[in-house]
Structure 1
Amino acid sequence: MPEPSSRTVLTDIDIPFGSLVLFFVKAALAAIPATFIVALILAFIGWIFRLLFGFGHMGGMMT
């Protein structure tokens, strides 16, 4: 028979300011290549949709 789950309430986290700043700088720097990777994935998906469904093609003459 499974034991009942116990609840934990977190009331305070003590993180030094310098460590917190360093964490956010690292996170910001890691977001830059991640943005390029996500953009490439979305561009590839868009290319597949244009290939399959013809999105983005100009049909006929432009007036």
Structure 2
Amino acid sequence: MVLVKGNKSGIVITDIQMQFMSMVEFMVKAVLAAIPALLILAVIGFVVTLIFSAMLRIGH
């Protein structure tokens, strides 16, 4: 059961009823889904670092 209070400015969820094992399963799936996202962010950060590193070397 989900209790929701709504008005013109937004919605506030006040309670979620969920089985413990369902919550554990959801959290495990969320962690597994985050791994590829973190790898992509790491690659982007590495590329940005290489670009800034190359730009700083050009000036010297």
Which bin holds the TM-score, normalised by the shorter protein? 0.5 to 0.7
Q: TM-score, normalised by structure 1?
A: 0.65
RMSD over aligned Cα atoms: 2.4
Q: TM-score, normalised by structure 2?
A: 0.68
Between the aligned residues of both structures, percent identity stands at 44
Give unmatched runs, 5+ long, in structure 2: 1-6
Between Structure 1 and Structure 2, the one with more strand by share is 2
Give unmatched runs, 5+ long, in structure 1: none
Which consecutive aligned stretches of 4+ in structure 1 deviate over 4 angstroms post-superposition?
A: 6-9
Between Structure 1 and Structure 2, the one with more helix by share is 2
The structure with the largest alpha-carbon Rg is 1
Tell me: higher relative CO, structure 1 or 2? Use CA pairs within 8 A at least 6 residues apart: 2
